[in-house]
């Protein structure tokens, strides 16, 4: 969990580092004058990034064909990609879960988010 939280924090900070946005605070503590702060150096950026980490973890899927912590990765697993291709070619694929739920968040990924 720590690995993926760290990866998503790093990724989110990289994504938000490219903006030139400036935030006008419109207030000052001592002199009453407003000040401006760069978004990239603001506490608002930190808050927005951390608030979205859990949602970003839901982009992961369980890749059962991999081992260790590499089992979680973004994108469809090779197994489900193959199964989807078979279904699109007209092959009847029978599994324990209905086809409509194939792309839903797995219990393992939901647990990753919960942790």
Exposure class string for 1-30: b at 16+ Cβ within 10 A, else e: eeebbeebeeebeeeeeeeeeeeeeeeeee
SS3 60: strand
Angle between helices 43-51 and 2-16 (to 10 degrees): 130
- The pTM assigned to this predicted structure is 0.65
Q: How many domains does the chain have?
A: 1
Instruction: Give the model confidence (pLDDT) of 50-92 as tens digits.
Output: 999 988 888 888 887 788 878 888 877 777 778 878 888 888 8
Domain of residue 28 covers 1-114
Instruction: Give the model confidence (pLDDT) of 27-42 as tens digits.
Output: 655 555 667 888 888 8
Q: How many H helices and E strands in the chain?
A: 5, 4
């Amino acid at each position: 969990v720590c690995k993926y939280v760290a990866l998503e924090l790093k990724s989110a900070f990289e994504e938000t580092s490219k903006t030139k946005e400036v935030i006008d605070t419109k207030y000052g503590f001592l002199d009453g004058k407003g000040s401006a702060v760069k978004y990239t150096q603001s506490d608002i950026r930190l808050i927005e990034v951390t608030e979205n980490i859990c949602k970003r973890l839901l982009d992961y899927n369980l890749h059962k064909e991999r081992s260790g912590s590499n089992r979680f990765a973004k994108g469809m697993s090779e197994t489900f990609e193959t199964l989807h291709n078979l279904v699109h070619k007209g092959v009847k694929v029978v599994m324990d879960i209905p086809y409509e739920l194939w792309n839903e968040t797995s219990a393992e990924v939901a647990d990753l988010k919960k942790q």
